[in-house]
Amino acid sequence: MAQAAHVNSGSARRLLASAGWIGLITAAVLIGAAAYSWSRTPLYRSAADVLVTISASPNLAPDMGTERTIATSQAVLTQAASRLGVTPEDMGGGLSVTVPVDTTVLRIAATREDPGDAQRRAQAVATAYVAVRNGQKQAQAGATATSAAEVITQAPLPQTPVSPNHAVDLSAALVVGVGIGAVTALARRRLDDRVRSPRQLAELTGAPLLGVIPPFRYRQPAVAGHVPVVHSPGSPPERAYHDLLARLLRVAENQDYWPATPAARGRTGDLELRFGNLGNGAARMILVTSAGREHRNVLAANLAAAIAHSGHQVLLVGADPAQPLDAGLGAVSEAAGLTDVLAGRAGLAETVTATRVLGLRAIPPGAPDDFRTVNDPELGRLLAMLRHEAPYVVIAGPSILDGAYAEVLASHADLVLFLGEERRSRRGDVTQAVARLDEAAPVTGCVLDAGGWHRRLPWISESFWKAPADEMPPVTVIDGVTIRAH
């Protein structure tokens, strides 16, 4: 049920992400359309209606196509232009003559930037047409059927512009924006190589999914944000780390546990047999690795803190100089580290330092350049020594793609946790990393960090996640380790 909840939560986040992208594109199109619409010069339209009849035969309808042509003829435009003191060519600009359906009415309209100018031009053309038409009527007085024209509606002074129509412009932009957003969102989903769901990470690694770290935000990223197990008891991420520990122990200790995918079943079974041969009292060495720049130190710190909160001694080892141990653990000294021990500049006891978490000690990574000179025998002997420091050893390792050093760590570890970050880890990198791990050690399980991208949004303090004491989840004991349960 919890696994299904995580998958459904991931689907909801992906849906919201697509909706957010569509909304962003739509907003951009709307802003552009609004800027264009409001930058256009307003145009005003005024129209006069002229009734056309045949005086000799009232029941006979005039040819309105011919009347439209006469209304825009040179004779009419010249007469109207002389009234306003403009040229006939200028008089025809913005002029339109239409015939409403099933009528013998000419609607003569003028569209101009100035409302008064639009009114004068429409009225002048209507008056000129009536004069020309009625003049022809008088010249053809002996004819049996002649057309007569009369202005039945004077051209009014327009009060509001007819263009631009902001409502129409924005409505069209909304439709276009949603369409472009939907198409580009689909293209991004198809072309994007990033891991986007827990199920996808499990399929890529071929290992069981042991946990999903939910999104969380914080105000002090250097202290409280990275270690919710220490600073935010009862929060969703704190419970997720304790659940991860419970599932990890289940994989390591329970011979009846099988992952969902057949591809992972054989590898995990081999791991359980190897782990079962450690015997009682042997230290459990857990390596946290990934395929890229995922926050391995964050996962390792919280996992180590969860073990310490369960009443066991644990040693946290920083093995990646690019990701120093999290400051939220407290007194983690960077004066001497793992590489100093390997180089003979310091003893192991000098590098082990206490933290603010009872039962948790730490060894910082040390100088970055020294990792290039680490050889397998020295590292193997040091890892063997670390097993005597605490019942649990959690190593915040480098990316498995960083080179042979990471593979050596994996070959000496009892459990290998593979970390992926939603919308950050690349599927191609994950596949390549798992292929390398297959040669060194099987992947125990994978963990998806769904909250890494939220850490860059410092909007909500850690108190947002604090739960009252009576709402704290109950606890249970698995293999002597106290685990918070739902």
Place of tokens 């704290």: 472
CB–CB of 363/337 below 8 Å?
A: yes
Instruction: Fill in the amino acid letter for 414.
Output: D
Residue 66 has pLDDT above 80, yes or no: yes
- 415-454 pLDDT tens trace: 999 999 988 899 999 999 999 888 778 888 999 998 654 4
> Within 13 Å of residue 456, how many CA atoms lie on the same side as its CB?
4
- 78-116 pLDDT tens trace: 999 998 999 989 998 899 999 999 899 999 999 999 999
Write down the pLDDT at residue 250: 82
Distance CA 224, CA 110 (A): 70
- 403-415 pLDDT tens trace: 778 888 888 888 9
Q: Which of 82, 223, 193, 270 is nearest to 425 (CA)?
A: 193
Write down the pLDDT at residue 251: 80
Q: Which of 360, 416, 397 is nearest to 210 (CA)?
A: 416
Q: What is the DSSP letter of 155?
A: P
- 145-198 pLDDT tens trace: 566 889 999 999 999 999 999 999 999 999 999 999 988 888 877 787 888 888
CB–CB of 175/22 below 8 Å?
A: no
Rounded to 10°, the helix 376-386/404-412 angle is: 40
Residue 2 has pLDDT above 60, yes or no: no
Distance CA 442, CA 264 (A): 9
The mean of the pLDDT values for the chain is 78
Residue 122 has pLDDT above 70, yes or no: yes
The dihedral region occupied by 234, where left means phi > 0, alpha psi between -120 and 50, and beta the remainder, is left
- Between residues 484 and 406, the one the model is more confident about: 406
CA dihedral of 234, 238, 243, 249, whole degrees rounded to 10:
-120
Residue 483 has pLDDT above 50, yes or no: no
Pick the CATH number of 44-153 from 3.20.20.70, 3.30.70.1130, 1.10.3720.10, 3.40.50.300: 3.30.70.1130
CATH 3.30.70.1130 boundaries in the chain: 44-153
Contacts of 358 (CB under 8 A, 6+ apart): 308
Write down the pLDDT at residue 176: 94
The helix (H) or strand (E) run that includes residue 446 is: strand 445-449
Write down the pLDDT at residue 144: 47
Phi, psi of 416 (to 5 degrees): -120, 115
Cis peptide preceding 164, ω within 30 of 0: yes
pLDDT band at 17; cut points 50, 70, 90: low
CATH 3.40.50.300 boundaries in the chain: 198-484
Residue 455 has pLDDT above 60, yes or no: no
Residue 479 has pLDDT above 60, yes or no: no
Distance CA 305, CA 326 (A): 12
Distance CA 55, CA 146 (A): 6
Write down the pLDDT at residue 46: 95
Q: Which of 144, 450, 406, 124 is nearest to 289 (CA)?
A: 406
Rounded average pLDDT over 391-409: 87
> Within 13 Å of residue 478, how many CA atoms lie on the same side as its CB?
18
Residue 216 has pLDDT above 90, yes or no: no
Q: What is the DSSP letter of 426?
A: B
Q: Would you say domain 198-484 falls under CATH 3.40.50.300?
A: yes
464: helix, strand or coil: helix
Place of tokens 């053809």: 140
pLDDT band at 270; cut points 50, 70, 90: very low
Question: What are the beta bridge partners of residue 288?
Answer: 396, 417
pLDDT band at 4; cut points 50, 70, 90: very low
